[in-house]
Amino acid sequence: MSAVVYEQREVRRARYAVAAVFAVHGAVTGSFATRVPWIQDHASVSAGQLGLALAFPALGASVAMPLAGSITHRFGARHALRGLISLWTLALVLPSLAPNLPVLCLALFVYGATAGMADVAMNALGVEVENRLGRSIMSGLHGLWSAGALVGSAAGTLAAHLGSDARLHHALAAAVLTLLGVAACAWVLDIQPAEDEEPPPRFALPPKSALLIGAVGFCAVFAEGASLDWSAVYLRDQLDTSAGLAAACTTGFTLTMAVARIVGDKVVDRFGSVATVRVGGVLAALGGLLIVVAGNPAVAMGGFALMGLGIAVVVPLCFAAAGRSGPNPSLAIAGVATITYTSGLVAPSAIGGLAQATSLVVSFGLVTVLACGLVAFAGVLRAADRDRPKVSAEAAAVPGPRP
């Protein structure tokens, strides 16, 4: 077996391993989200206090994400990811243990910090695998994150339905997910820094290229956060639907995004990142327009489905572009991740504030305008298409399943 063939088989195995890590990461998020009402009751916090506490995960992630590059440089990519994903899965236990608001805020800060560092590490490895394969895989990886979140949500919904204590539920979930994450990390790429490579700074501003890429991600995540948190409210309040139909709209939006991400890599390989994001922006803007003018639930639900379809692959492509935008992929990815996390934090409250001052229709008019930004600024992803390596003829001839 030639060295090239062996290396390609190793890379393919690493592709499935990092995909499993993405699914584990998503499952933690889904497990937590479904037990927020239990955590609120246990900590005896009001709705306003809960809203304050839920800002701390994004704050913790923003502070800690720049550290991921230093950790990876010191321990190597495989050991760093193994440690960071373990910290993240184990941090799932912390919020349910909080007895009051200050402890809950601290627990959620740690929860978000570990989430952000693991996020940067696994996306950096995903970009490296994509580079070595010479084909797009980042959309599929994020699709598996969404699938993991759905599985975690389903398990959490069952636990809540059975009236189980969230401390027990999260302890069991953390144990299982930690074992799965550690096992998967045994097969990810073991990238080590060169002997003469300078360690990245612990804290540094992201490069300018990452800021531009992050702006595209901001538009997509704003639309995602607005749709996830407000789609059900929109159908209930604006179109007077039942609670069940309103909830089904949110579920449909989530499923649309997951499916689009899983199949999105073939589209990116065929048409490139820039064209894919521009067409996605058109679809998202059309979806936003349908939401704004909807006179019945079916039209609005179709609009939210188009919104999910249009923005699904944008964030994965932003991470991929950031990983190729300079000499320090982890720093660039951390910069993009910080911007997107901030967008996810700002979007729900911004939509609510604007709706309070005007209406939800006007709020989703803003979302539609931001979706148009995807069309206008997709060109910043052009370098990622230009720099993506091609698979050699020898590697392409390797038998076996294709990623």
No. of H helices and E strands in the chain? 19, 0
Could you give the CA distance from residue 349 to residue 194 in angstroms, rounded to a whole number?
44
Would you put residue 200 in left (φ > 0), alpha (ψ -120 to 50) or beta?
beta
Q: How many C-beta neighbours within 10 Å does residue 3 have?
A: 8
Per-residue pLDDT of the chain (403 residues; tens, 9 = 90+): 566 665 778 898 999 999 999 999 999 988 998 898 899 999 999 877 887 888 898 889 888 988 888 898 889 999 999 999 999 999 999 999 999 999 999 999 999 999 999 999 999 999 999 989 888 999 999 999 989 988 888 888 888 888 899 999 999 999 999 999 999 999 999 988 766 666 665 555 667 778 899 999 999 999 998 888 788 889 888 999 887 888 788 878 888 888 899 999 999 999 999 999 999 999 999 999 999 999 999 999 999 999 999 999 999 999 999 888 766 777 788 889 888 888 887 887 788 888 888 999 999 999 999 999 999 999 998 855 655 544 433 333 333 333 3
Could you give the CA distance from residue 282 to residue 278 in angstroms, rounded to a whole number?
6
pTM: 0.82
Nearest-10 Cα torsion for 256, 120, 53, 312: -10
Please check whether residue 209 is in contact with residue 331, taking contact to mean a CB–CB distance below 8 angstroms. no
Distance (Å) of CA 344 to CA 67, 327, 340: 21, 27, 6
Could you give the CA distance from residue 303 to residue 234 in angstroms, rounded to a whole number?
12
Q: At what angle do helices 208-239 and 243-271 cross, to 10 degrees?
A: 150
Could you give the CA distance from residue 28 to residue 178 in angstroms, rounded to a whole number?
10
